[in-house]
């Protein structure tokens, strides 16, 4: 799960990471009020869960509350990468001497938490890693022991030659590491981490991605979920225990298992069409889940045919077949359905499908070809 900058900053503040005064505004008026309260020039920053806000004009410097009003109005209207901006963060503007990068990730390669720092902050860190890898410093942390102060100091010294600043950075690195581990983050990032001419340091931006598997033990973070920012179908799917990603093609896919679902999408493409979605009904296979999946897919206007690809294992084919029958009867789908069923209780399932005049195949290739054919009317 992703959360907004202002939410990540709330978490940072709890750990003592220096974050400038600021509040989130839902309207230009609110933006103006916050700027007045701050009483200094402010930044007005679009709160959207995608990158590239700055380039899209979603971050503005406002000298006074009236400008803050003006920019909040502009930004609250705009779309960034197709996503409408509904909130802005109004926060004290900083006098920037230098911009660095500080981040912590779960590293699947080393199987350790890895702290990453770079002097080259403020820009896309993956770009820096590609073009000037010598500017990136990584530290693998022993997850049983945790990050030690000397390690944080070493990292701080990699990005600042002035030891006083390096020590301040080290302190932030330690706090960021705690915030990362204690909140089940998959990423916790400060970019840019800035210094001012006065020698202050600030987390100017804040990014936290949460490990979905850890969310259950952080209800306070789960409650930060921005339901506005999520695709309504994807949200509905998630709430119904389905894994769903919307795409742009016209073959609606319902599959059990993530790998098989991706392979099914790939096969659709392989035979010249585009999938309308990724959808994994998962291991347990109640008819309700199938009904739910159908409902979600039928909401997409571009879907021209529905493709079921079920390899029965834990998932029992008859359960899926029952779900299809229920869905056909209840939803009266306006598009044709192609079904592949194999594995556990396959024969039983094929009989069930006869009730709604569907003939299931056992072959994945066949069902994909058939769905494409059906989609063309």
Locate all alpha helices (DSSP H) within the chain, ordered by sequence: 5-14, 28-38, 65-77, 125-131, 149-159, 163-182, 219-222, 232-239, 258-270, 287-298, 317-331, 346-354, 364-375
Surface-to-core class of residue 142, CB atoms within 10 Å of its CB (0-12 exposed, 13-18 middle, 19+ buried): exposed
In the bound complex, what is the minimum distance in angstroms from residue 272's beta carbon to another protein? 12
Asked if 82 is part of the footprint of another protein (rule: CB under 8 A), the reply reads: no
Q: What is the 3-state secondary structure (H, E, C) of 146-171?
A: CCCHHHHHHHHHHHCCCHHHHHHHHH
Locate all alpha helices (DSSP H) within 183-257, ordered by sequence: 219-222, 232-239
User: Which residue in the list 30, 67, 189, 346 is annotated as catalytic?
Assistant: 189
Asked if 94 is part of the footprint of another protein (rule: CB under 8 A), the reply reads: no
Whether 189 is a known active-site residue: answer: yes
Query: Residue 300 — φ and ψ, nearest 5°?
Result: -85, 120
The smaller minimum CB distance to another protein, of residues 62 and 170, is found at: 170
Which of 82, 197, 198, 216 forms a contact with another protein (CB under 8 A)? 216
CA 241 to chain centre: 17
Asked if 199 is part of the footprint of another protein (rule: CB under 8 A), the reply reads: no
User: Which residue in the list 15, 101, 160, 177 is annotated as catalytic?
Assistant: 101
CB 88 within 8 A of CB 25: yes
In the bound complex, what is the minimum distance in angstroms from residue 196's beta carbon to another protein? 20
Asked if 247 is part of the footprint of another protein (rule: CB under 8 A), the reply reads: yes
In the bound complex, what is the minimum distance in angstroms from residue 65's beta carbon to another protein? 36
Whether 15 is a known active-site residue: answer: no
User: In whole angstroms, what is the distance from residue 168 CA to residue 171 CA?
Assistant: 5
Asked if 267 is part of the footprint of another protein (rule: CB under 8 A), the reply reads: yes
Cross-strand pairs, 101: 118
End-to-end CA distance of the chain: 39
- Secondary structure class of 306 (helix, strand, coil): strand
The smaller minimum CB distance to another protein, of residues 38 and 276, is found at: 276
Cα–Cα–Cα angle for 192, 5, 164, rounded to 5 degrees: 35
CA 82 to chain centre: 15
In the bound complex, what is the minimum distance in angstroms from residue 61's beta carbon to another protein? 28
Asked if 364 is part of the footprint of another protein (rule: CB under 8 A), the reply reads: yes
Asked if 343 is part of the footprint of another protein (rule: CB under 8 A), the reply reads: yes
| Assigned token pair, 235 | 């949200």
Q: What is the per-residue DSSP string for 97-127?
A: SEEEEEEEEEETTTTEEEEEEES--SS-HHH
In the bound complex, what is the minimum distance in angstroms from residue 34's beta carbon to another protein? 31
Near another protein in 301-330, by CB under 8 A:
311-315
Asked if 112 is part of the footprint of another protein (rule: CB under 8 A), the reply reads: yes
Which of 40, 63, 86, 111 forms a contact with another protein (CB under 8 A)? 111
In the bound complex, what is the minimum distance in angstroms from residue 358's beta carbon to another protein? 21
The binding track of 138-177 with respect to another protein, each residue x by CB under 8 A or -, is ----xxxx--xxxx-xx--x-----xx--x----------
Positions touching another protein (CB under 8 A) are: 106, 108-109, 111-113, 126, 142-145, 148-151, 153-154, 157, 163-164, 167, 181, 184, 186, 211-214, 216-217, 243, 245, 247, 255-263, 265-270, 274-275, 278, 280, 283, 311-315, 342-344, 363-365
Active-site amino acid positions = 101, 189
């Amino acid at each position: 799960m992703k959360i907004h900058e202002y939410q990540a900053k709330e978490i940072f503040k709890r750990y003592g990471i220096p974050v400038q005064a600021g509040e989130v505004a839902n309207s230009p008026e609110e933006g103006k009020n916050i700027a007045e309260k701050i009483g200094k020039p402010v930044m007005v920053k679009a709160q959207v869960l995608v990158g590239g806000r700055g380039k899209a004009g979603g971050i503005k410097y406002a000298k006074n509350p009236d400008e803050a009003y003006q920019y909040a109005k502009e930004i609250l209207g705009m779309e960034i990468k197709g996503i409408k901006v509904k909130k802005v963060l109004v926060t004290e503007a900083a006098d920037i001497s230098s911009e660095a990068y500080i981040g912590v990730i779960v590293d699947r390669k080393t199987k350790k938490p890895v702290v990453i720092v770079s002097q080259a902050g403020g820009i896309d860190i993956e770009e820096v890693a590609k073009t000037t890898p010598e500017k990136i410093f990584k530290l693998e942390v022993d997850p049983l022991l945790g990050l030690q102060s000397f390690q944080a100091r070493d990292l701080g010294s990699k990005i600042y030659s002035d030891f006083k600043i390096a020590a301040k950075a080290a302190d932030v690195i330690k706090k960021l590491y705690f915030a990362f581990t204690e909140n089940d983050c998959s990423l916790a990032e400060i970019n840019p981490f800035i210094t001012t001419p006065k020698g202050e340091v600030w987390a100017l931006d804040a990014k936290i991605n949460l490990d979905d598997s850890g969310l259950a033990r952080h209800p306070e973070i789960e409650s930060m979920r921005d339901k506005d920012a999520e695709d309504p179908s994807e949200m509905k799917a998630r709430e119904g225990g389905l894994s769903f990603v919307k795409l742009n093609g016209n073959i609606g896919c319902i599959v059990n298992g993530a790998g098989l679902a991706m392979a099914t999408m790939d096969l659709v493409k392989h035979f010249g069409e585009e999938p309308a979605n990724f959808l994994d009904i998962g291991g347990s296979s109640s008819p309700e889940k199938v009904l739910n999946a159908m409902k979600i897919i039928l909401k997409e206007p571009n879907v021209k045919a529905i493709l079921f690809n079920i390899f029965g294992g834990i998932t029992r084919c008859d359960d899926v077949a029952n779900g299809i029958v229920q869905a056909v009867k209840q939803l009266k789908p306006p598009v044709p359905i192609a079904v592949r069923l194999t594995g556990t209780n396959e024969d039983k399932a094929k009989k069930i499908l006869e009730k709604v005049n569907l003939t299931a195949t056992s072959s994945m290739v066949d069902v994909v070809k058939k769905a494409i054919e059906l989609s063309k009317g």
